[in-house]
Amino acid sequence: MCDQGRRTRRKFAPEEKVRIVLDGLRGEQSIADLCRREGIAANLYYRWSKDFLEAGKKRLDADTLASIYDRLVPALQVALGLTHAIKVEQALTQ
């Protein structure tokens, strides 16, 4: 058997994947043309695009949760501190 027709699977760096996905999102050319130019199958482009958008969503969700946490914790600490101070004051006056 002859291995002339076989090609090894190409590895794409994350930076290359991001560049290709962003090129597709710009919409300057069709996805089919982009994939042809880059030498990838359209389903691979769509998988990378989906992964890219989901990762962005997760990051935004994490940032939102961190922001909420950063605002709530100091407020809770103040509230708990005031509650503690009121209890101490009530105990002293009794």
* 34-73 confidence digits (pLDDT tens): 999 999 999 999 999 999 999 988 888 777 877 777 777 7
Residue type, 59: R
Q: How confident is the model at residue 15 (pLDDT cuts 50, 70, 90)?
A: very high
Helices 14-26 and 42-93 cross at an angle (nearest 10°) of: 100
How confident is the model at residue 84, as a pLDDT? 62
Asked if residues 31 and 45 have their Cβ atoms less than 8 Å apart, the reply is: yes
Kindly report the number of other CB atoms within 10 A of residue 5's CB atom: 5
Between 70 and 19, residue with greater pLDDT: 19
Average pLDDT of the chain is 83
Rounded CA-CA distance 80/85 in Å is 8
